[in-house]
Structure 1
Amino acid sequence: MRLLVALFPLLALAGCSSWQAAPQDIKPVPEERLRGYQSPVANGGEIVVTRDFGIRGGGCYVAVMVDRMLAARIHVGEQVRLYVPAGMRIVSIESDPEDDTLCGKGRLLREKAAQVERGETLHFRISADNRIGFDIQQVGAE
């Protein structure tokens, strides 16, 4: 019984962390939540952002930004493809500026610098964790 009492809080906290979606479970962000970077750019590259599954923030959209401009509103288990000019880009996530509920009132801001080369595809992953909240990490390039 003591073991159960000791393990329950740990299990409850672990339940708030996110997990990476299997490729067959990922859905594209619907068109009505796309805000920019949808047309291929001559001599540009591509940024692909995928959001993990998880309970933490699961009822809220997260704003995906490129160079501090809203590109998409992404939900759990979704992916967005963004076409950007080659060069140094700032890829970030923020609280959704179009949401006037509690979801949009948070203070989320995580930014990553990304060097996009001509014809290159960079992949980013949005995850959630109990210690730091939401984060965005580059996970590879093609």
Structure 2
Amino acid sequence: MKAMLGGLAAMVLAGCGTATTHDTAIRNAVSNRLFLYQAAGDGDATLLVVRDNGLFGGGCSSQIFIDDKQAAQLEIGEQAAFRLPSGTHAISLQNSGACRRVSDARVDATLGAGEDVTVQVNARGSSLSLAKR
């Protein structure tokens, strides 16, 4: 009886240790939620906006604005790449869905020609930050 209970306990604990890639992997946003800055031009820089995964924030959509123009809508665990001319750009975020009450966030990013810059959105969609270079 003890051996059977021990085996059952081991199976239960083993089941708790599994994780899906949906909870950890970052996916590209689908094309119908990418609105601007998708075509590359000479001397452009690449801005990557990544929304983190997490337990909270699944009911929130993050509207990404670049220079006050809506460029994309990101869901939890998604990323989007934008091709921008070099210079300083204002990246801001507004939320819809369950997180509507969260205040809007903004960060300025200076991009050089051919440079790659990453901006992170937390899982809840409540803050933006420049990723460490």
| Counterparts of 2:83 and 2:121, CA distance in 1 | 18
The two structures have a TM-score, normalised by structure 2, of 0.74
Task: Using the TM superposition, give the Cα deviation of residue 109 of structure 1 relative to its aligned residue in structure 2, in angstroms.
Answer: 1.3
Task: Using the TM superposition, give the Cα deviation of residue 86 of structure 1 relative to its aligned residue in structure 2, in angstroms.
Answer: 0.6
Number of residue pairs matched by the alignment: 111
Task: Using the TM superposition, give the Cα deviation of residue 104 of structure 1 relative to its aligned residue in structure 2, in angstroms.
Answer: 7.6
Percent identical: 24
- Please report the RMSD computed on the Cα atoms of aligned residues, expressed in angstroms: 2.1
CA contact (8 A) 2:107 2:128 kept: yes
2:114 to 106, 112, 119: 119
1:134 to 121, 126, 129: 126
Structure 1, residues 82-124: CA drift from partner, whole Å, max 9, x if none? 111110100111124xxxxx44843531111111100001011
| Counterparts of 1:76 and 1:128, CA distance in 2 | 6
Bigger Rg, which one = 2
| Counterparts of 1:70 and 1:106, CA distance in 2 | 19
Match of 1:56 in 2: 56
5+ long unaligned stretches in structure 2: 1-22
